Structure 1
Amino acid sequence: MSALEIQNIRKSYGEVDTLKGIDISLESGEFLVLLGSSGCGKSTLLNIIAGLAEATSGDIRIGDRSVLGVHPKDRDIAMVFQSYALYPNLSVHRNIGFGLEMRKVPAAERDKAVREAAKLLQIESLLERKPSALSGGQRQRVAIGRALVRKPEVFLFDEPLSNLDAKLRMEMRTELKRLHQMLKTTVVYVTHDQIEAMTLATRIAVMRDGRIEQLGTPDEIYNRPATLHVATFVGAPPMNLLNATAEAGSLRIDGTSIALPMPAASTGIRQGQELVIGIRPEALHLDGEGQLEAVCEVTELTGPELIVTVHVGSQRLMASLPASCGLAVGDVLRLGLGCGVHVFDRGSGLRCG
């Protein structure tokens, strides 16, 4: 039995369709990330699961029951918001246990649950403080603790790390991963940050314009993107895209005489078809006999690597090279291709094969 079943969910505001038929089935213990840019419908879908918004049509099932029309407090879910939403006049202990207090849970049982959650989150020493005396990361831990004590069937997270600085985001990602591995609770997590999605998820649903572009594991999303949108949305630096035309057994890069061999997995391509070649920056390497002759335009040292922007004919691409390679603007270089050339139809944006 699925822990969470989302069946053909649609949401419309008048003539505007926000969600256009979402189908997802989650087994118990999965960590699903809804990934997409602002306005794609991911938070709307999360609010429908939580009961904070109503679907126009479709069904949401948690365990063996439909929860459409069920009050949020009776859905066996717990939600962590982008804002911490803590009560400023209450201690950390009472903030974590407030939901249990409202449910008339006995004080001893409530105290035990709060202290167990605080131990998991490593905030036992903060229980008597007020939220004003906490850092941003500590406040977010308190908000997560308030959800933990509910022991829900499904956890919902709505961009919970977006208010934190880069260092705290990394620390909290690790904490969330650790908690999920320990608790093995089903999680639905909304973010626009592809690093969060790749590091946390067991499955990722990449959303665009109210639809799911691709649903798969992080490995599938990264290494076999189904569309051009997925290919460019996931990855930092993003995937390079080069316009090309299919010739007999090869891919000729437009505006050049360079012809790359056709990948074996790219089936159903006809001669003369207009295509887009996708190449990850890390798949490129310096090679004196490489297939791509390029001119260096910009170099960006990140520390462990040098991100080099070059042009091949009239088209630009980026390569992730060793920091010690010593390239300068204007240098002519040759780039070899590692594995992982992706081919997409230029018109539809769909992966070939």
Structure 2
Amino acid sequence: MSALEIENIRKTYGEVETLKGIDIALESGEFLVLLGSSGCGKSTLLNIIAGLAEATSGDVRIGGRSVLGVHPKDRDIAMVFQSYALYPNLTVHRNIGFGLEMRKVPTPERDKAVRDAAKLLQIENLLDRKPSQLSGGQRQRVAIGRALVRKPEVFLFDEPLSNLDAKLRMEMRTEIKRLHQMLKTTVVYVTHDQIEAMTLASRIAVMRDGRIEQLGTPEEIYNYPATLYVATFVGAPPMNLLDVTLRDGRLVLSGTDTSLPLPSRFREAAGNGRDLILGIRPEAFRTDGAGLSIEAISEVAELTGPELVITALTGNQRLMACLPPRTPIRDNEKLTLFFDEEAIHLFDRETGLSCSRGQ
């Protein structure tokens, strides 16, 4: 039995369809990240799971039981919000235990649950403080602690780290990952941050315009994007997309004399004169003399610290390459960028779908 089943969920507001038939089955202990840009429907879907919004049609089952029409407090879920949603007049101890207090859990049992959660989150020394005396990261730990003591079937996180600075976000990502590995809880986590998605998820649902573009492991999403949208949304810098035409079994880059052999996994894309889009991730390029190659002219070199990011022109098309930081490249220098055949992605120009077999 799946811990969470989302079956053909649709949501409309008047004539606007926000969710267009979402289907996901989540096994116990999975960490699902709903990833997408603002307005894609990910928070709406989370709110429907939580009972904070009603679906227009479809079903949501938690532990095999339909929860449509069930009050949020009776759904066996706990939610962590972006805003922390702490009571400013209560201590950390009472904030963590507030839900148990409302459920009339006996004081000794409640205190033990609070102290166990505080120990797990390493905030035992903060139990007597008020939220105003805490940092942003500490407040988020308190909000997570309040969810932990409930011991729910499913944890829901709604962009919980978006209010934190970069250093705290990294620390809290590690903390959430550690907690999930220890507790084996089932999690649905909403974010627009691809780094959070890639580092935390056991599976990612990339959403766009109320639909799921692709559902898979982080490795599948990154290495085998099913659509152009997924290819460009996941990855920083984003995947390079170059116009090519298939001629006599070779991929000819538009505006250049460069042609590349068509990898065997794309044989089904065969069709002389067919216009396609070639995708190569910036980190796939190197400057040594091995593999396939593309000629380019460097425009801008940006040192980020761990890598040198090159913007270059090949014909009239622009691409980016991530190279080792000490690579000796100057502006307006002619480059030969090498890459392996396995780095090639091909997409249909009309549909945006991957041309790889099985997709």
TM over 0.5: yes
CA distance in 2, matches of 1:119, 1:248: 65
Contact 1:28 1:186 (C-alpha < 8 Å) held by counterparts: yes
**Deviation per residue, 1:66-101 (Å, 9 max, x gap):** 000000000000000000111111110000000101
Letter in 1 for 2:284: A
Aligned counterparts of 2:296 and 2:339: Cα–Cα separation in 1: 13
Shift in Å at residue 195 of structure 1?
Answer: 0.4
Partner SS for 2:177: helix
Match of 2:354 in 1: 351
Say whether the 8 Å CA contact 1:51–1:72 is kept in structure 2. Answer: yes
How far did residue 288 of structure 1 move?
A: 5.0
Residue type at the aligned position of 1:23: D
The aligned counterpart of 2:343 is: 340
The answer for the alignment partner of 1:309 in structure 2 is: 311
SS state at 1:286 partner: coil
Once the two structures are aligned, what percentage of the paired residues are identical?
77
Q: What is the match of residue 123 of structure 2? A: 123
Q: Which amino acid letter does the alignment assign opposite residue 303 of structure 1?
A: G
Aligned mates of 1:311, 1:116 — CA distance in 2: 58
Residue deviations 1:162-196, cap 9 Å, x none?
00000000000000000000010100000000000
What is the aligned partner in structure 2 of residue 318 from structure 1? 320
Deviates more, 1:18-27 or 1:248-257: 248-257
Contact kept? 1:97, 1:111, Cα under 8 Å:
yes
User: Residue 154 of structure 1 corresponds to which residue in structure 2?
Assistant: 154
Q: Secondary structure at the match of 2:265?
A: coil
> 1:315, 1:19 → 2: CA distance?
36
CA offsets 1:96-147 (integer angstroms, 9 cap, x no match): 0001011111110000000000011010111011111110000000000000
SS class of match (1:24): strand
User: SS in structure 2 opposite 1:285?
Assistant: coil
Aligned residue type for 1:340: A
Runs of 4+ with deviation above 6 angstroms:
none
Matched, 1:202 2:206: no
Deviations 1:9-54 (A, max 9, x none): 0000010000000000000000000000000000000000000000
Equivalent in the alignment of 2:286: 285
Shift of 1:273: 1.0
Partner of 1:102: 102
Distance in 1 between residues matched to 2:137 and 2:293, nearest whole Å: 48
Task: Please give the secondary structure, in 1, of the residue aligned with 2:267.
Answer: coil
The residue matched to 1:219 in structure 2 has which SS? helix
267-276 vs 308-317, which moves further: 267-276
Structure 1: gaps (5+ residues): none
SS across alignment from 1:300? strand
Task: Calculate the TM-score normalised by the size of structure 2.
Answer: 0.97
Q: Structure 1 CA distance, aligned partners of 2:277 and 2:208?
A: 20
Map of 2:20 onto structure 1: 20
Gaps of 5+ in 2: none
Residues 1:261 and 2:264 aligned together:
no
Report the Cα distance in structure 1 between the residues aligned to 2:289 and 2:111, rounded to whole angstroms: 67
With structure 1 as the length reference, what TM-score do the two structures score?
0.99
Code of the residue aligned with 2:333 in structure 1: it is D
1:291 positional shift: 2.2
